[in-house]
Amino acid sequence: MGSDMRSQKGRDASDQEQFLTILSREDAVARFEAALFPRAIATEDRPLAQALGLPLAGDIVAEIDVPPFDRSNVDGFAVRSADLAAASEATPVRLVLNDEVIACGTAPARPVLTGTATSIATGGPLPRGADAIVMVEFTQPAGAKAIAIRRAASPGQFVSYAGSDIARGEAVLRAGTVIGSREIGMCAASGIAKLSVVRPPRVAVISTGDELVQPGQPLRPAAIYDTNGAIVSAAINENGGEAKFFGAIADDEAELEAAMRRALESSDMLVLSGGTSKGAGDVSHRIISRLGKPGIIAHGVALKPGKPLCLAVCDGKPVVILPGFPTSAMFTFHDMIVPVLRRMAGLPPRTDAKVVATVPVRIVSELGRTEFVMVSLVEGAGGLIAYPSGKGSGAITSFAQADGFLKIDALADQMPAGSEAEVTLFTPHVRVPDLVIVGSHCTGLDLVTAPLARAGLVVRSIAVGSLGGLAAAKRGECDFAPIHLFDEKSETYNTPFLGEGLELVPGWRRMQGIVFRSGDARFEGLSAQAAVRAALADPACIMVNRNQGAGTRILIDRLLGEARPDGYWNQPRSHNAVAAAIAQARADWGMTIAPVARASGLGFIPLAEEHYDFALVTARKQRPAVQAFLEALGSDEGRAALEQAGFRPA
């Protein structure tokens, strides 16, 4: 049992026992499905064009023959095959043309009598008496109103008989068939304009949280944009449901209960997100127990991410509370909710494409929880390689940029480096990138790779830090590793860190310096050294540091010497986090790079240039995408774009 589940115990003595029990993924699915199925499926009639993507409610039986008459497949002449039995190159047969041309849509008026032929177009109905068509290419004019034919014709030649495509009374489509363009074509050919289909389940979506603001609205302090409302709605629509978004509701029990009741009234299913873990304002699961029987089926599932998932059934309707973090919400939604939603929608289970790939690094996993790990795929020497995209459960970009995910069994505490793993793809096909960049990320990278993307090359950049990038490059898993590693012994950047098989491609310089809020009199106009002295002299002044191992950290430590001012232990891992801490006044000074300081509107005192270069895997140098990158890096356009953003191209 997880500590967050246990802590709910004291909160409400009337909480059901099942709130305290974490179920395995399999048990939770089994209980949820048992409470929901079998169930009646609602159907509706829809015009053909609006039935696309929906499953048929019943069999479709053809009421007419298709084609409805015997039809010519070619342009030519309708004949009696017996007339041509003796036709050959040496003994052509002459047929007199009937005074009629059968175009498409023309019903024939005259019979084809022995010794005659009627001109007929592709799609024209076969006239009475005729039993074969001779292609126009195999005939010659023979005087006025006659043709000569030099080969025999078999009965039925180039004729499609009535009902040969679809026979009246035939079941053309079976119940459950998902209507695609081909099925629509069959129905149209049979004259069917309306279909009885499974009505898509109406799914109400509610986001919960005082902190949520809808995209498009200004972001207030401490607020975040509501991601789940949009992503959950889209995922519902992708899986056969009809999402209706009821907005983000504050963590207020009465307000939320009213919203949930309103949403459930007009829907077949309700999906909430947030408010299901141990937070003080988490009230939604208490409301659920008042909404209908049997109520909560599972609260707490041994999934990672996604433990606080809550599954309920209220008077026959599924009610689900997804975890708040968008990636956790999506994994639990896809793994636990999509199968139920698709079944309600009459759709078959998803058949996601899977590939096998090697995992290059060890992935630790929590024992007892089924763990999903997002991965990016790159092509290695011996096949596909799956890089875990580790940004934590709060990161939405890892979800959007990953190629798929792998699953670590609840009974495993790790996946060893070198393991072969099955990767479930987010898209039907693997897009193996043309250029793979693994290492430290910099916004300048996007500027340099822009022309490659325009040329249709797929560039994959995986941020694992300088050292992680170097390790990947040494294993030959990428083309370039962007690095900015300072060697204290030689006081130089990057070159001392290259190993065999790698060469340095100079990138650009990033000016590092002290950042502070513009106008702060303690720092304005000083040198970096003087600014730090001023900061140390003011006990109210708070700094923001950087993580151990960051090149920037070395510079900070040099400036600080033995001093450990307030804020020293606040050690974020990125230039942007430092700027945000100062801009939002959680700290007063720190060190970041000039472009980031500028983008945040902060004051900046330059100190030293950091070298951001590329370790190139020599064996991959001749690849076209590598050459394209080198060209873009050295181009006037690339250099100008870098300068414009505040970098100094090397």
Interface positions with ligand AMP (CB under 6 A): 207, 209, 211-212, 224, 226-229, 273-277, 279, 323-326
Residue 232 Cβ, how far from ligand AMP at the closest point, in Å?
Answer: 8
276 binds, among ligand AMP, Mg ion, none (CB under 5 to 8 A by kind): ligand AMP
Neighbours of 520 (CB within 10 A): 17
Strand partners, 396: none
From Mg ion, ligand AMP, none, which one binds at residue 325 (CB under 5 to 8 Å depending on kind)? ligand AMP
Beta-carbon contacts of 249 under 8 Å, excluding residues fewer than 6 positions away, are 206, 207, 208, 255, 256, 259
Distance CA 508, CA 486 (A): 15
- Please enumerate in sequence order all residues whose Cβ is within 8 A of that of 562, keeping only pairs 6 or more positions apart, or say none: none
Nearest approach, Cβ of 29 to ligand AMP (angstroms)?
21
Distance of CA 381 to the CA centre of its chain: 27
Task: Specify the residue, 229 or 346, whose C-beta has the smaller distance to ligand AMP.
Answer: 229
Q: How many CB atoms lie within 10 A of CB 644?
A: 10
What's 126's DSSP letter? P
Residue 127 gets which letter from DSSP?
P
DSSP 8-state class, residue 409: -
277 binds, among ligand AMP, Mg ion, none (CB under 5 to 8 A by kind): ligand AMP
Shortest Cβ 228–ligand AMP spacing (Å): 3
Q: How far is the CB of 621 from Mg ion (least distance, A)?
A: 50
- Distance between CA atoms of 555 and 535, rounded to whole angstroms? 16
Strand, coil or helix: what is 69? coil
**Among Mg ion, ligand AMP, none, residue 273 binds (CB under 5-8 Å by kind):** ligand AMP
Residue 594's CB is within 10 A of a number of other CB atoms, namely: 22
Q: How far is the CB of 224 from Mg ion (least distance, A)?
A: 10
Toward ligand AMP, which CB reaches closer, 222 or 521? 222
- Supply the minimum distance, in Å, between the C-beta of residue 389 and ligand AMP: 19
**Which residues here bind Mg ion, judged by CB under 5 A?**
209, 274-275
Element (H, E) at 606: strand 603-617
Contact yes or no for 113/52 (Cβ under 8 A): no
Q: Residue 227's binding partner, choosing from Mg ion, ligand AMP, none, with beta-carbon cut-off 5 to 8 A by kind? A: ligand AMP
Decide whether 72 or 284 has the Cβ nearer to ligand AMP.
284
Count, residues in the chain = 650
Instruction: Name the residue nearer to ligand AMP (CB basis): 205 or 408.
Output: 205
* Residue 224 near which of ligand AMP, Mg ion, none (CB within 5-8 Å, type-dependent): ligand AMP
* Nearer to ligand AMP (CB atom), residue 227 or residue 466: 227
Shortest distance, CB of residue 594 to ligand AMP, whole angstroms?
Answer: 31
In 3-state terms the chain splits into helix, strand, coil percentages (rounded to 5) of 25, 30, 45
Judged by beta carbon distances under 5 to 8 A according to partner kind, the member of Mg ion, ligand AMP, none in contact with residue 323 is: ligand AMP
Select the residue whose beta carbon is closest to ligand AMP and give its number.
Answer: 324
Ramachandran angles phi, psi of 183, nearest 5°: -65, -40
Evaluate whether 71 touches 212 at the Cβ level (below 8 Å): no
Q: How far is the CB of 307 from ligand AMP (least distance, A)?
A: 11
Q: For ligand AMP, which is the closer residue by CB, 374 or 442?
A: 374
Looking at beta carbons only, is 320 or 447 nearer to Mg ion? 320
Closer to Mg ion by Cβ: residue 65 or 226: 226
